[in-house]
Amino acid sequence: MFSYKPKLKHVIEAKQFSDRKLLEEMFDRAEYMERKDKKNKLPQSLKGKRVASFFYEESTRTRFSFETAVLALGGKVVSTDKASQFSSVAKGETLEDTIRILSSYFHAIVMRHNIKGSAKIASTYSEVPIINAGDGEGEHPTQALLDVYTIKKEIGRIDDFSIAMVGDLKYGRTIHSLTYLLESHKNVKIYFVSPKTLSIPEEHIQSMIASKTQFEETENMEEALDKVDVLYMTRVQKERFPNQEEYDKVKDFYILDKDMLRKMKPEAIIMHPLPRIKEIDPKIDTDPRAAYFRQAKNGLYIRMALLDMILG
Protein backbone atom coordinates (compact mmCIF):
# COMPACT_ATOMS: atom_id res chain seq x y z
CA MET A 1 0.00 0.00 0.00
CA PHE A 2 2.50 2.58 1.19
CA SER A 3 5.73 1.89 -0.67
CA TYR A 4 7.66 4.90 0.64
CA LYS A 5 8.98 3.93 4.05
CA PRO A 6 10.54 7.01 5.59
CA LYS A 7 13.27 6.87 8.17
CA LEU A 8 11.59 7.99 11.36
CA LYS A 9 12.62 6.98 14.82
CA HIS A 10 12.22 9.49 17.62
CA VAL A 11 9.62 12.23 17.23
CA ILE A 12 10.94 15.11 19.29
CA GLU A 13 10.30 18.37 17.45
CA ALA A 14 8.17 19.71 14.64
CA LYS A 15 11.07 20.64 12.37
CA GLN A 16 11.64 16.93 11.76
CA PHE A 17 8.63 17.22 9.47
CA SER A 18 9.97 20.02 7.29
CA ASP A 19 10.47 17.39 4.61
CA ARG A 20 7.42 17.79 2.40
CA LYS A 21 7.52 14.23 1.13
CA LEU A 22 7.43 12.90 4.68
CA LEU A 23 4.55 15.21 5.57
CA GLU A 24 2.50 14.21 2.54
CA GLU A 25 3.14 10.56 3.21
CA MET A 26 1.80 11.05 6.72
CA PHE A 27 -1.29 12.90 5.51
CA ASP A 28 -2.02 10.16 2.97
CA ARG A 29 -1.84 7.59 5.71
CA ALA A 30 -4.01 9.65 8.05
CA GLU A 31 -6.69 9.86 5.37
CA TYR A 32 -6.34 6.15 4.74
CA MET A 33 -6.79 5.47 8.46
CA GLU A 34 -9.92 7.60 8.60
CA ARG A 35 -11.45 5.79 5.61
CA LYS A 36 -10.62 2.38 7.07
CA ASP A 37 -11.87 3.32 10.52
CA LYS A 38 -15.27 4.26 9.14
CA LYS A 39 -15.53 0.76 7.69
CA ASN A 40 -14.20 -0.77 10.92
CA LYS A 41 -11.32 -2.21 8.88
CA LEU A 42 -8.24 -0.55 10.30
CA PRO A 43 -4.97 -2.29 9.45
CA GLN A 44 -3.60 -4.25 12.40
CA SER A 45 -0.11 -3.02 11.64
CA LEU A 46 0.94 -2.67 15.28
CA LYS A 47 0.20 -6.30 16.10
CA GLY A 48 2.72 -7.60 18.63
CA LYS A 49 3.96 -4.08 19.36
CA ARG A 50 3.96 -2.72 22.90
CA VAL A 51 3.78 0.99 23.62
CA ALA A 52 4.33 2.73 26.95
CA SER A 53 2.08 5.71 27.50
CA PHE A 54 4.12 7.62 30.04
CA PHE A 55 2.59 10.94 31.09
CA TYR A 56 4.23 13.07 33.78
CA GLU A 57 1.49 15.64 33.26
CA GLU A 58 -2.11 14.68 32.96
CA SER A 59 -3.93 14.90 29.66
CA THR A 60 -7.24 13.92 28.15
CA ARG A 61 -7.15 14.22 24.43
CA THR A 62 -3.46 13.59 23.84
CA ARG A 63 -3.16 10.51 26.02
CA PHE A 64 -6.55 9.16 24.97
CA SER A 65 -5.91 9.69 21.25
CA PHE A 66 -2.45 8.11 21.38
CA GLU A 67 -3.67 5.09 23.32
CA THR A 68 -6.71 4.74 21.09
CA ALA A 69 -4.47 4.87 18.02
CA VAL A 70 -2.18 2.13 19.34
CA LEU A 71 -5.04 -0.14 20.37
CA ALA A 72 -7.04 0.42 17.18
CA LEU A 73 -4.04 -0.68 15.10
CA GLY A 74 -3.68 -3.87 17.13
CA GLY A 75 -0.91 -2.78 19.50
CA LYS A 76 -0.77 -3.06 23.29
CA VAL A 77 -0.56 -0.17 25.74
CA VAL A 78 0.60 0.08 29.32
CA SER A 79 -0.21 3.47 30.72
CA THR A 80 0.21 5.96 33.48
CA ASP A 81 -1.03 9.52 33.64
CA LYS A 82 0.80 10.30 36.86
CA ALA A 83 4.37 9.37 36.07
CA SER A 84 5.69 12.11 38.34
CA GLN A 85 4.04 10.53 41.36
CA PHE A 86 5.09 7.18 40.07
CA SER A 87 7.03 4.98 42.35
CA SER A 88 10.50 5.07 40.89
CA VAL A 89 10.30 8.70 39.85
CA ALA A 90 9.00 9.82 43.23
CA LYS A 91 11.78 7.84 44.85
CA GLY A 92 14.31 10.01 43.03
CA GLU A 93 15.15 7.94 39.97
CA THR A 94 16.58 9.87 37.05
CA LEU A 95 14.73 10.17 33.75
CA GLU A 96 17.65 8.31 32.17
CA ASP A 97 17.17 5.23 34.33
CA THR A 98 13.39 5.24 33.89
CA ILE A 99 13.73 5.47 30.11
CA ARG A 100 16.38 2.75 29.98
CA ILE A 101 14.03 0.37 31.76
CA LEU A 102 10.94 1.28 29.75
CA SER A 103 12.86 0.96 26.51
CA SER A 104 13.73 -2.61 27.45
CA TYR A 105 10.03 -3.53 27.85
CA PHE A 106 8.39 -1.60 25.01
CA HIS A 107 8.72 -1.01 21.27
CA ALA A 108 8.02 2.70 21.66
CA ILE A 109 7.43 5.26 24.41
CA VAL A 110 4.90 8.07 24.16
CA MET A 111 6.03 10.58 26.76
CA ARG A 112 4.66 13.80 28.18
CA HIS A 113 6.88 15.65 30.61
CA ASN A 114 6.70 18.96 32.41
CA ILE A 115 10.25 20.02 31.58
CA LYS A 116 11.29 21.46 28.22
CA GLY A 117 13.95 19.36 26.55
CA SER A 118 13.13 16.17 28.43
CA ALA A 119 11.94 14.29 25.34
CA LYS A 120 15.27 15.04 23.65
CA ILE A 121 17.18 13.78 26.67
CA ALA A 122 15.01 10.67 26.85
CA SER A 123 15.74 9.90 23.19
CA THR A 124 19.47 9.75 23.85
CA TYR A 125 18.96 6.98 26.40
CA SER A 126 16.26 5.00 24.66
CA GLU A 127 16.80 2.00 22.43
CA VAL A 128 13.26 2.46 21.08
CA PRO A 129 11.41 5.43 19.55
CA ILE A 130 10.46 8.25 21.91
CA ILE A 131 7.39 10.19 20.82
CA ASN A 132 7.19 13.61 22.42
CA ALA A 133 3.61 14.20 23.54
CA GLY A 134 4.52 17.59 25.00
CA ASP A 135 7.59 18.66 26.98
CA GLY A 136 6.74 21.56 29.27
CA GLU A 137 6.76 24.84 27.40
CA GLY A 138 8.89 23.18 24.72
CA GLU A 139 7.19 21.40 21.85
CA HIS A 140 4.21 19.26 20.98
CA PRO A 141 5.13 18.04 17.49
CA THR A 142 2.17 15.70 16.89
CA GLN A 143 -0.16 18.61 17.63
CA ALA A 144 1.58 20.61 14.87
CA LEU A 145 1.13 17.68 12.52
CA LEU A 146 -2.57 17.44 13.17
CA ASP A 147 -2.87 21.23 12.91
CA VAL A 148 -1.30 21.32 9.45
CA TYR A 149 -3.31 18.26 8.45
CA THR A 150 -6.45 20.11 9.52
CA ILE A 151 -5.46 23.17 7.51
CA LYS A 152 -4.98 20.96 4.47
CA LYS A 153 -8.36 19.30 4.89
CA GLU A 154 -10.20 22.51 5.68
CA ILE A 155 -8.75 25.08 3.27
CA GLY A 156 -7.25 22.69 0.73
CA ARG A 157 -3.62 23.82 0.88
CA ILE A 158 -0.65 24.05 3.25
CA ASP A 159 1.21 26.75 1.32
CA ASP A 160 0.04 30.25 0.39
CA PHE A 161 -2.10 31.11 3.36
CA SER A 162 -2.19 33.45 6.32
CA ILE A 163 -2.71 32.49 9.93
CA ALA A 164 -3.22 34.41 13.17
CA MET A 165 -1.98 32.74 16.32
CA VAL A 166 -3.73 34.23 19.32
CA GLY A 167 -3.20 34.03 23.06
CA ASP A 168 -0.30 32.65 25.04
CA LEU A 169 2.51 32.49 22.50
CA LYS A 170 5.23 32.41 25.14
CA TYR A 171 4.39 29.20 26.97
CA GLY A 172 2.10 27.57 24.39
CA ARG A 173 3.99 24.58 23.07
CA THR A 174 1.41 23.94 20.36
CA ILE A 175 2.20 27.41 19.01
CA HIS A 176 5.93 26.73 19.18
CA SER A 177 5.69 23.49 17.24
CA LEU A 178 3.28 24.85 14.66
CA THR A 179 5.43 27.93 14.06
CA TYR A 180 8.54 25.83 13.54
CA LEU A 181 6.72 23.54 11.16
CA LEU A 182 5.18 26.36 9.09
CA GLU A 183 8.61 27.86 8.43
CA SER A 184 9.15 25.18 5.80
CA HIS A 185 5.91 26.03 4.01
CA LYS A 186 5.84 28.45 1.09
CA ASN A 187 4.36 31.89 1.35
CA VAL A 188 2.84 31.60 4.79
CA LYS A 189 2.18 34.80 6.69
CA ILE A 190 1.85 34.56 10.46
CA TYR A 191 0.20 37.17 12.68
CA PHE A 192 1.24 36.71 16.31
CA VAL A 193 -1.45 38.20 18.53
CA SER A 194 -0.66 38.32 22.25
CA PRO A 195 -0.19 40.60 25.22
CA LYS A 196 3.44 41.71 25.38
CA THR A 197 4.09 39.53 28.41
CA LEU A 198 3.10 36.44 26.45
CA SER A 199 4.72 37.18 23.08
CA ILE A 200 6.43 34.65 20.87
CA PRO A 201 9.95 33.80 22.19
CA GLU A 202 13.02 35.37 20.61
CA GLU A 203 14.33 32.01 19.36
CA HIS A 204 11.29 31.82 17.08
CA ILE A 205 11.84 35.36 15.79
CA GLN A 206 15.41 34.46 14.90
CA SER A 207 14.39 31.21 13.31
CA MET A 208 11.72 32.91 11.17
CA ILE A 209 14.11 35.61 10.02
CA ALA A 210 16.61 32.93 9.01
CA SER A 211 13.94 30.98 7.12
CA LYS A 212 12.46 34.16 5.61
CA THR A 213 9.02 33.46 7.08
CA GLN A 214 6.69 36.49 6.95
CA PHE A 215 5.29 37.52 10.30
CA GLU A 216 3.82 40.43 12.24
CA GLU A 217 3.34 40.90 15.95
CA THR A 218 0.38 42.75 17.42
CA GLU A 219 -1.62 43.03 20.61
CA ASN A 220 -4.84 43.68 18.73
CA MET A 221 -6.69 40.63 17.45
CA GLU A 222 -8.99 42.75 15.25
CA GLU A 223 -6.05 43.87 13.14
CA ALA A 224 -5.58 40.32 11.90
CA LEU A 225 -9.14 39.10 11.91
CA ASP A 226 -10.21 40.11 8.41
CA LYS A 227 -6.90 39.17 6.82
CA VAL A 228 -6.36 35.54 7.75
CA ASP A 229 -7.38 32.18 6.32
CA VAL A 230 -6.79 30.50 9.67
CA LEU A 231 -7.53 31.89 13.11
CA TYR A 232 -5.68 29.78 15.66
CA MET A 233 -6.94 30.55 19.18
CA THR A 234 -5.19 29.26 22.30
CA ARG A 235 -5.91 29.13 25.95
CA VAL A 236 -3.83 31.19 28.33
CA GLN A 237 -2.48 28.33 30.40
CA LYS A 238 -3.01 28.97 34.07
CA GLU A 239 -0.56 26.25 35.04
CA ARG A 240 2.31 28.18 33.41
CA PHE A 241 1.88 31.23 35.68
CA PRO A 242 3.59 31.75 39.02
CA ASN A 243 0.40 32.98 40.70
CA GLN A 244 -3.29 33.76 40.25
CA GLU A 245 -2.66 37.52 39.98
CA GLU A 246 -0.36 37.27 36.97
CA TYR A 247 -2.81 34.92 35.32
CA ASP A 248 -5.83 37.16 35.96
CA LYS A 249 -4.11 40.08 34.19
CA VAL A 250 -4.15 38.36 30.81
CA LYS A 251 -6.62 35.50 30.91
CA ASP A 252 -9.52 37.33 29.29
CA PHE A 253 -7.48 39.29 26.76
CA TYR A 254 -8.79 37.55 23.67
CA ILE A 255 -12.27 36.19 23.42
CA LEU A 256 -13.81 35.31 20.09
CA ASP A 257 -17.53 35.98 19.92
CA LYS A 258 -20.21 36.18 17.24
CA ASP A 259 -19.59 39.87 16.58
CA MET A 260 -15.95 39.32 15.79
CA LEU A 261 -16.80 36.32 13.67
CA ARG A 262 -18.51 38.66 11.18
CA LYS A 263 -15.20 40.34 10.43
CA MET A 264 -13.60 37.10 9.33
CA LYS A 265 -13.42 35.90 5.74
CA PRO A 266 -16.34 33.63 4.93
CA GLU A 267 -14.01 30.77 3.94
CA ALA A 268 -11.61 31.17 6.87
CA ILE A 269 -11.45 28.57 9.65
CA ILE A 270 -11.16 28.76 13.42
CA MET A 271 -8.84 26.33 15.14
CA HIS A 272 -8.02 25.67 18.79
CA PRO A 273 -5.83 22.92 20.29
CA LEU A 274 -8.39 22.57 23.10
CA PRO A 275 -9.29 22.55 25.91
CA ARG A 276 -10.85 25.98 25.62
CA ILE A 277 -12.02 27.93 28.60
CA LYS A 278 -13.60 31.19 27.49
CA GLU A 279 -11.54 32.07 24.42
CA ILE A 280 -14.25 30.95 22.05
CA ASP A 281 -17.92 31.60 22.74
CA PRO A 282 -19.76 28.24 22.42
CA LYS A 283 -22.33 30.02 20.24
CA ILE A 284 -19.73 29.87 17.48
CA ASP A 285 -19.55 26.07 17.59
CA THR A 286 -22.28 25.65 15.00
CA ASP A 287 -20.65 28.02 12.49
CA PRO A 288 -19.16 25.97 9.63
CA ARG A 289 -15.87 27.82 10.11
CA ALA A 290 -15.50 26.39 13.61
CA ALA A 291 -13.02 23.60 12.84
CA TYR A 292 -11.76 22.80 16.34
CA PHE A 293 -13.75 19.65 16.97
CA ARG A 294 -12.85 18.30 13.52
CA GLN A 295 -9.26 19.25 14.35
CA ALA A 296 -9.36 17.15 17.52
CA LYS A 297 -10.67 14.18 15.61
CA ASN A 298 -7.89 14.57 13.03
CA GLY A 299 -5.46 14.05 15.91
CA LEU A 300 -6.56 10.47 16.22
CA TYR A 301 -5.79 9.70 12.58
CA ILE A 302 -2.51 11.61 12.49
CA ARG A 303 -1.35 9.62 15.51
CA MET A 304 -2.42 6.38 13.85
CA ALA A 305 -0.47 7.40 10.74
CA LEU A 306 2.59 8.33 12.78
CA LEU A 307 2.58 5.12 14.80
CA ASP A 308 2.07 3.12 11.63
CA MET A 309 5.09 4.78 10.03
CA ILE A 310 7.30 4.23 13.07
CA LEU A 311 6.19 0.78 14.23
CA GLY A 312 4.09 -0.67 11.42
Q: Which residues bind its own copies (CB under 8 A)?
A: 40, 42, 48, 50, 52, 57-65, 67-68, 71-72, 76-83, 85-94, 96-98, 100-102, 104-106, 235, 237-239, 274-277, 282, 293, 296-297, 300
Check if 61 is active-site. Answer: yes
d(CA 86, CA 25): 37
* Minimal distance, residue 98 CB to its own copies, in Å: 7
d(CA 87, CA 217): 45
d(CA 176, CA 192): 11
Given the complex with its own copies, which of 117 and 275 has the nearer CB atom?
275
Within its chain, how far is the Cα of 63 from the centroid?
A: 12
* Minimal distance, residue 209 CB to its own copies, in Å: 33
C-alpha torsion sign, points 163, 309, 73, 128:
negative
d(CA 298, CA 152): 11
User: 26, 309 in Cβ contact below 8 A?
Assistant: yes
Q: Which of 112, 204, 272, 303 is catalytic?
A: 112
Check if 112 is active-site. Answer: yes
Check if 62 is active-site. Answer: yes
Q: Which of 15, 36, 50, 61 is catalytic?
A: 61
The alpha helices in 168-253, defined as continuous H runs, are: 173-182, 202-210, 221-225, 244-250
* Minimal distance, residue 71 CB to its own copies, in Å: 4
Given the complex with its own copies, which of 104 and 206 has the nearer CB atom?
104
* Minimal distance, residue 277 CB to its own copies, in Å: 4
Check if 140 is active-site. Answer: yes
Catalytic residue positions, numbered? 61-62, 91, 112, 140
